[in-house]
Amino acid sequence: MARQTPLVVAHRGASSEHAEHTLAAYVAALDAGADGLECDVRLTADGHLVCVHDRDLRRTAASRGVVSAMELAELERIDMATWKNPWADLDDEAPDTDPERGRILTLRRLIETSLDYDRPVRMAIETKHPTRYAGLVERRLAELLDDFGFTAKGAPVQVMSFSWVALRRMQRLTPDLDLVMLVDDRRQHWARVKPFVEPHWILGPGIETVRSHPGLVRSWIRDKGRSVHCWVVNDPADADLCADLGIEAIITDEPARMRRHLGV
């Protein structure tokens, strides 16, 4: 199989340099030339989709707040960036930063930001489950994407999940969108989810799965004709492996570094 240079998708933005899921992280990724942006979305108590990975804020905001129990106005008052570099205020040589780029980020604003760039930018949106709102997350996501005209075939959006139930739900709501079944051997073995995966869905294995089972990945691509997107790829050797296997896209914390390594 011929080597294929994969698309470079920024995992939670340029999250090796900036606090994940903040506007600062995504602007840095866009300025670095990332082909796409990956984000996790959760629903607030008043129905807004926000870009947050964890169900609560302890890791990224030193708060005990649970995202699904808080309204957007509450979340917007919280600093989501200081944890990444807690000593920045003591560094006289640190560049000035815009506090608004370190606040909670709505999916709507992230999409609007990507549209400000004069090149196509793909969005890889993961819906997090389990959640108290269950299918409402996908319904709100479908409505938001429709606002931007992003539900038609060829839209620069793909929806991802570890939950095949969530993907089936999304398929009913937006039948023309690309869907990605995320696979992680630490949580779920491929054999367990395989019966539920539709033939046209993209497969999204973690890099550990790709390293451990390159023959399986090669079979998915060569024999089954599937597209494969891999996460999280931060090592140049792993990027080379993905390229050699014909993987279509890599999701990385370091989009600038991966682009330089791949020569794109």
Q: What is the pLDDT of residue 67?
A: 97
pLDDT score for 90: 44
Q: Calculate helix-pair angle for 236-245, 214-222, nearest 10 degrees.
A: 40
Residue 36 forms part of a structural domain:
yes
77 located within any domain: no
Task: Cite the active site residues.
Answer: 11, 53
The pLDDT value given to residue 84 = 85
Extract the tokens encoding 11. 């995992």
Q: What value does the mean pLDDT take over residues 48-57? A: 97
Pick from 111, 238, 122, 227: nearest CA to 180: 227
pLDDT tens-digit map of 137-189: 999 999 999 999 999 999 999 999 999 999 999 999 999 999 999 998 776 67
The verdict on residue 197 lying in a domain is yes
Relative to beta strand 36-43, strand 49-51 is antiparallel
- Asked if 221 and 246 count as a contact pair (C-beta separation under 8 A), the reply is yes
Where does residue 154 fall: left (phi above 0), alpha (psi -120 to 50 degrees), or beta otherwise?
left
- As a whole number of angstroms, the distance between CA 168 and CA 171 comes to 5
Note the pLDDT of residue 114.
98
Question: How far apart are the C-alpha atoms of 180 and 167, rounded to whole Å?
Answer: 8
Residue 107 has pLDDT above 80, yes or no: yes
Question: Which residues are bridge partners to 223 per DSSP?
Answer: none
Q: Is residue 61 included in any domain, yes or no? A: no
Question: Is residue 73 situated within a structural domain?
Answer: no
Q: Two tokens at 107?
A: 């999916």
Is 255 a member of any domain? yes
> pLDDT class for 191, splitting at 50, 70, 90?
confident
Mean pLDDT, range 104-118, rounded to an integer: 97
Structure confidence at residue 187 (pLDDT): 63
* Predicted pLDDT at 85: 74
| pLDDT, tens digit (0-9, with 9 covering 90-100), for 62-104 | 788 999 999 999 999 999 998 887 655 545 555 556 667 789 9
**Residue 146 is assigned to a structural domain of this protein:** yes
pLDDT tens digit sequence for 238-262: 999 999 999 999 999 999 999 999 9
Across the strands, what pairs with 250?
Answer: 8, 230
Provide the domain count of the chain. Answer: 1
Q: Distance (Å, rounded) from C-alpha 39 to C-alpha 25? A: 11
pLDDT for 207-224, tens place per residue? 999 999 999 999 999 999
Say if CB 30 and CB 113 are below 8 A apart: yes
Exposed/middle/buried for residue 187 (C-beta within 10 Å: 0-12, 13-18, 19+): exposed
**128-139, pLDDT tens digit by residue?**
998 989 899 999
CATH at 40? 3.20.20.190
Q: Is there a domain that residue 72 lies in?
A: no
**Bigger pLDDT: 189 vs 230:** 230
What element of type H or E holds 216? helix 214-222
Domain that holds residue 219: 7-54+105-262
